[in-house]
């Protein structure tokens, strides 16, 4: 398996486009994305656990209830959430897409992201559809990746090549997500394509299982979004024998999926609103995965710890504090903590107590833009990784006037 270029257009039979249609005021920002498969594909998706959900989620759930889809349409700049006509607008987006592409309206995955509680006018979407379809291309993933961004500062786009039954398969993904990120799914949207052949049931099983260790292990600000969705289309055009049971090919498919989701998750975490650093918590020595997971997420979610990372302050007591209130069943007298970056590693806590260390060396390590906090619970063999970022002044500035 290896990483390749091409994003969602890397797999056979997928074309994409992204344009500015007028939803966003800034005409330099794309705000409407489209991905279309040459043939109907197996489809699966997972959604936010927030009780308040964007209208597109309800429409998408209904559309792919039969396990198939052929296109994805997504706008940015407006979440189409908490609107009286939200479902009607989301349904119209599918119908307009169908009329312009020839894909059945019930085979369209629809998504929206942006401000909550503002009516979404269908007019710019309808008016922009001709251009959106005319610009569809088999090498146009980047424009689609840009069109789904809101407060993101960088596009998130990856692809991987892998082999199933002697056939080369490809998988690609694009994502948006910068703030309001705290999965149980995060304003995070992810669209994944693959030319591998796999049944809808196993596609959903692979996606759901992967999300527990990838997307549900990110936190930027502790706010679970209303519009989070991760969707996958698998059109089978690679020609492999369809995966219908949990065999070696299924394991290879899951590995490829994990390669894509890990890249997307790191990109989302590093691009947190106002962030200057990617922060990852690697927990080892857990008595089970649930314990390790709980500890890792508690550390990454700690506002005090995140603020310390912004200041490059090796305040390891905030790590222990977060572990202590996490609810995980751990022996605090066994915990070791160290910090790592490209500048090296420094141990700051051993057996639940501080050890002498150089503040100057610690500062040098923590001034880097990618930081790892290593937590060893010394109580088993289970591991977990959670990802987030530092908490900066700019996060407050961005969200202080996000709507206006």
Encode pLDDT of 271-324 as tens digits: 877 789 999 999 999 999 999 999 999 999 999 999 999 999 999 999 999 999
Tell me the pTM.
0.84
Strand partners, 41: 69
Both structure tokens of 182: 């705290």
36 CA to centre of own chain:
20
Q: What are phi and psi of 71, to 5 degrees?
A: -150, 160
**HEC-encoded secondary structure of 234-263:** ECCCCCCCCECCCCHHHHHHHHHHHHHHHH
Known catalytic residues?
Answer: 187
In the predicted model, is pLDDT for residue 174 greater than 60? yes
Q: How far apart are CA 243 and CA 198, in angstroms?
A: 4
pLDDT above 70 covers a percentage of the chain that reads 95
Contact 98, 108 (CB under 8 A): yes
| Least reliable range by pLDDT among 150-159, 183-192, 274-283, 333-342 | 183-192
Q: How confident is the model at residue 114 (pLDDT cuts 50, 70, 90)?
A: confident
In the predicted model, is pLDDT for residue 399 greater than 90? no
Q: How far apart are CA 235 and CA 238, in angstroms?
A: 8
In the predicted model, is pLDDT for residue 223 greater than 60? no
Return the C-alpha torsion angle 3, 260, 106, 98, nearest 10.
Answer: -40
Q: How far apart are CA 317 and CA 338, in angstroms?
A: 12
Domains of the chain, each with CATH number or no CATH:
2-270 (3.60.70.12), 278-400 (3.10.20.340)
H or E element, residue 143: helix 141-147
Rounded CA Rg of the chain: 22
Q: How confident is the model at residue 25 (pLDDT cuts 50, 70, 90)?
A: confident
Q: What is the pLDDT of residue 307?
A: 93
Encode pLDDT of 339-387 as tens digits: 999 999 999 999 999 999 999 999 999 999 999 999 999 999 999 999 9
Average pLDDT over every residue of 238-254: 97
Burial of 245 (0-12, 13-18, 19+ CB in 10 A): exposed
Neighbour-count burial for 34-44, b at 16+ CB within 10 Å, e otherwise: bbbbeebbbbb
Q: How far apart are CA 53 and CA 80, in angstroms?
A: 9
């Amino acid at each position: 398996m290896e990483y390749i270029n091409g994003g969602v257009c890397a797999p056979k039979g997928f074309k994409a486009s992204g344009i500015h249609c007028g939803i966003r005021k800034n005409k330099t920002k794309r705000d409407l994305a489209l991905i279309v498969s040459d043939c109907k594909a197996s489809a699966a998706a997972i959604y936010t656990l927030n009780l308040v959900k964007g209208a597109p989620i309800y429409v998408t759930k209904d559309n792919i209830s039969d396990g198939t889809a052929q296109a994805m349409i997504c706008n940015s700049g407006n979440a189409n959430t908490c609107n009286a006509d939200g479902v009607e607008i989301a349904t119209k987006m599918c119908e307009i897409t169908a009329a312009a592409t020839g894909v059945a309206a019930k085979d369209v995955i629809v998504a929206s992201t942006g401000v909550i509680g503002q009516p979404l006018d269908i007019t710019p979407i309808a008016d922009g559809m001709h251009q959106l379809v005319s610009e569809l291309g088999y090498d146009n993933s980047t424009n689609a990746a840009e069109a789904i961004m809101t407060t993101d500062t960088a596009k998130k786009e990856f692809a991987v090549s892998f082999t199933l039954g002697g056939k080369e398969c490809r998988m690609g993904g694009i994502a948006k997500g910068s703030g309001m990120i705290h999965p149980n799914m995060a304003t995070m949207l992810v669209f994944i394509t693959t030319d591998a052949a796999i049944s809808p049931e196993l596609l959903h099983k692979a996606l759901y299982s992967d999300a527990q260790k990838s997307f549900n292990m990110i936190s930027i600000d502790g706010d679970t979004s209303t519009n989070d969705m991760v969707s996958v289309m698998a059109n089978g055009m690679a020609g492999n024998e369809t995966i219908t049971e949990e065999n070696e090919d299924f394991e290879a498919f899951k590995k490829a999926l994990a390669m894509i989701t890990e890249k997307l998750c790191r990109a989302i975490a590093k691009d947190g609103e106002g962030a200057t650093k990617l922060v990852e918590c690697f927990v080892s020595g857990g008595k089970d995965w649930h314990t390790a997971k709980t500890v890792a997420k508690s550390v990454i979610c700690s506002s005090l710890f995140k603020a310390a990372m912004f200041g490059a302050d090796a305040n390891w007591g905030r790590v222990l504090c977060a572990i202590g209130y996490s609810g995980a069943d751990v022996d605090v007298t066994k915990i070791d903590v160290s910090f790592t970056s490209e500048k090296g590693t420094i141990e700051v806590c051993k057996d639940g107590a501080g050890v002498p260390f150089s503040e100057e060396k610690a500062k040098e390590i923590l001034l880097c833009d990618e930081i790892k906090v290593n937590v060893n619970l010394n109580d088993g063999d289970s591991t977990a990784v959670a990802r987030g970022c530092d908490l900066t002044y700019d996060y407050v500035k961005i969200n202080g006037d996000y709507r206006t």
